[in-house]
Amino acid sequence: MNPEFWAGMASTAILAVTLALALVLVLRRPVRRWLGSRPAYALWVLVPAALVAALLPNPQPSFELIQLGASIASGTTSSVTETAPAGTSGSSWLLLAWTLGALATWMMMLAQEWRFRAALGPLQREANGCWRATHAMPCPALIGLFRPRVVIPPDFELRWNERQQVLVLAHERTHARRGDPWANAAAAVLIGVFWFHPLAWLAIRSFRADQEMACDARVLAEHPQWPRSYAEALLVPAGGCHATACRWSSHHTMKERIKMLNRTQALSGRKTLGLIAVAALALALVGTVWSAGVVDQGQQDRRYFTVVSQVTVDEDNRTYEHRYALASQPGQLFGMDSEVGPHGTLSQTFTFQELDNDLIDLRMTLSIAGETVQTPRLIFPLDQSDPAVISTQGWPGMNLRLEITASSQPLER
């Protein structure tokens, strides 16, 4: 795939993800207030749904072909056209910058993860299935993806009473049952992909806060008789969280979580309604992104070519001429076949890239009777009125001439 293709895909994905992030950030608080914490957390499915919709294949054909006419004329033609060397396009530099930024972001997250794990010290297996850290840690945490483990501080029993211990461990195990470590890992991957996007960094904190409140709601639904003990357990001092672990408590979300505890039971009956509403919203967003042209990168980047091919054969002093109109997009293979009388079929296949300054880099493969005879390359301006011309030789005594124009607008038929 060429850099221009990836640049086009990236712009499509950025538009879709920006729309989804803005929608979630606007709706999450009203949804949590009226429908509960779990539907608010479910809103975040809109982001990957929009991204997938943005990258779905374009249902349009990769190219269109119309034969404008064919004729046989007398005479011969010959000329030589030089091609310009290809330079490094702006898209290539952007792709390089994005790659370096993504790698740096992921390395930073991995380093943060490694430091957190190292700070725990050796882990000791407890009878209740948890793992006790050797060194001090601010609060219990769920670590690991394939085999999630609940890690508790060395002074766990001193900081929480027995009832609070049950609730704290239930909270971490609920994270494991819900697959939240995988959700956090996916979020970390997306942060690396969209490291340049300010909404992505704003969204990650909101995502983690909604995740914790959804987990709180699930635990309180299983232990409805202990809301006060749950709130008191939250007030035990704790620190922040790292990339993929699920941590019991964070200063940044404490007030919101305690406030929602008072509303969780009152809103429990609206959970199903909220999840149905979120599912409907996700379907509507996917349909909108896919059908409204946000995802139709092929249509946005489509270029329209006219090709006049002339095959002059010295043996019978005849020129076989065909005219075609074609529409295609960067990186797609397209072409046509032209009959050259008793000499067989001339197959012409093309692929193109767009360079800086609205230049078209067109690469061709010319075959006669199934045998490749030339692979020329032509670089010429987009929307130029005069055709670009390339003349070359097929077999001995057979000259090929192509006149090509490229337009950004559909051709009149």
Query: Model pTM?
Result: 0.66
Of 176, 197, 190, 85, whose CA–CA distance to 129 is shortest?
176
Enclosing H/E stretch for 72: strand 64-74
> Would you say how long the chain is, in residues?
413
CB-based contacts of 12, cutoff 8 Å, min separation 6 = 54, 55, 294, 295, 297
C-alpha span between 200 and 206 (Å, rounded):
10
**Fold category of 302-407 in CATH:** Lipocalin (2.40.128)
Domain ranges of the chain: 3-59+87-291, 302-407
* Tens-place pLDDT, residues 93-107: 888 899 999 999 999
Look at residue 247 in the predicted model and tell me its pLDDT: 57
Look at residue 242 in the predicted model and tell me its pLDDT: 53
326-345 mean pLDDT: 79
C-alpha span between 159 and 151 (Å, rounded):
15
* Tens-place pLDDT, residues 240-263: 455 555 555 555 566 778 777 766
- 271 touches 39 (CB < 8 A): yes
Of 341, 303, 307, 301, whose CA–CA distance to 324 is shortest?
307
Task: Say yes or no to pLDDT of 195 above 60.
Answer: yes
Look at residue 356 in the predicted model and tell me its pLDDT: 81
Look at residue 72 in the predicted model and tell me its pLDDT: 37
Look at residue 4 in the predicted model and tell me its pLDDT: 55
Structure tokens at 49: 């749904």
Task: Say yes or no to pLDDT of 186 above 90.
Answer: yes
- SS3 assignment for 345-374: EEEEEEEEEEEHHHEEEEEEEEEECCEEEE
Which has the higher per-residue pLDDT, 334 or 281?
281
* Tens-place pLDDT, residues 291-307: 765 445 545 567 888 88
The pLDDT > 90 percentage for the chain reads: 36
Task: Say yes or no to pLDDT of 332 above 90.
Answer: no
**Residue 86 DSSP one-character state:** P
Quickly count: other Cβ atoms within 10 Å of residue 193's Cβ: 20
